[in-house]
């Protein structure tokens, strides 16, 4: 049976709701957090519906790896204003959007609080390997010789 390709936006929405449902069931988040995150302009969720990236496609694998381990923020888009240069005497951080059209302003301590949410817990798994690079696949290849 031939069917049209999936619509990325619909898959992202479904994926987002399934992740929220799982996290709520595990007691990691509550309805307030879910409601807050559902109102975000950019959800932070992404679904790739393009062509498969095969093991011999080195450029594709490198691009994927770069995407997976990219930094959660860009230092180049951040401007720090010390308290003695701030109009209200509170240190500030200005963070520009990717397109440069908007800027968010944070008190320096609020910025640090936001930033530290991206620091993984001790022993938390940061990268997951699937397919060719998974532990199982590597073990089978090693065993096969």
**78-81 β-sheet, strand order:** 78-81, 92-96, 103-107
Within-domain flag for 54: yes
Please give the mean pLDDT across all residues of the chain: 85
Range with lowest mean pLDDT among 6-20, 54-68, 115-129: 115-129
Residues 55 and 89 placed together within one structural domain of the fold: no
Residues 90 and 113 placed together within one structural domain of the fold: yes
Residues 25 and 78 placed together within one structural domain of the fold: no
What percent of the chain clears pLDDT 70, i.e. is strictly above it?
Answer: 97
Residues 81 and 61 placed together within one structural domain of the fold: no
Residues 7 and 42 placed together within one structural domain of the fold: yes
The first and second tokens of residue 47, run together, are: 């679904």
Contacts of 103 (CB under 8 A, 6+ apart): 94, 95, 96, 97
The domain in which residue 97 lies consists of 73-120
Rounded to the nearest 5 percent, the helix, strand and coil shares of the chain are: 45, 10, 45
What is the rounded average pLDDT of the residues 98-109? 90
* Contact of 73 with 95, CB cutoff 8 Å: yes
Interval 35-84: pLDDT, tens: 988 888 777 787 777 788 898 999 988 888 877 776 667 888 999 999 99
Within-domain flag for 113: yes
Q: How far apart are CA 35 and CA 20, in angstroms?
A: 10
What is the pTM assigned to this prediction?
A: 0.41
């Amino acid at each position: 049976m031939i069917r049209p390709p999936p619509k990325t936006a619909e898959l992202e929405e479904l994926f987002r709701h399934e992740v929220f449902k799982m996290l709520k069931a595990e007691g990691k988040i509550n309805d307030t957090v879910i409601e807050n995150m559902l109102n975000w302009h950019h959800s932070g969720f992404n679904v790739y519906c393009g062509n498969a990236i095969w093991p011999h496609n080195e450029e594709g694998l490198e691009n994927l790896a770069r995407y997976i381990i990219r930094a959660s923020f860009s230092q180049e888009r951040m401007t720090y204003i010390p308290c003695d240069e701030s109009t209200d005497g509170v240190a500030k951080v200005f963070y520009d959007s990717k397109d440069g059209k908007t800027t968010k302003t944070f008190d320096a301590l609020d910025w640090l609080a936001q930033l530290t949410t991206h620091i993984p817990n001790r022993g938390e798994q940061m990268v997951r390997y699937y397919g060719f690079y998974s532990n199982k696949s590597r073990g089978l290849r090693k065993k096969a010789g």
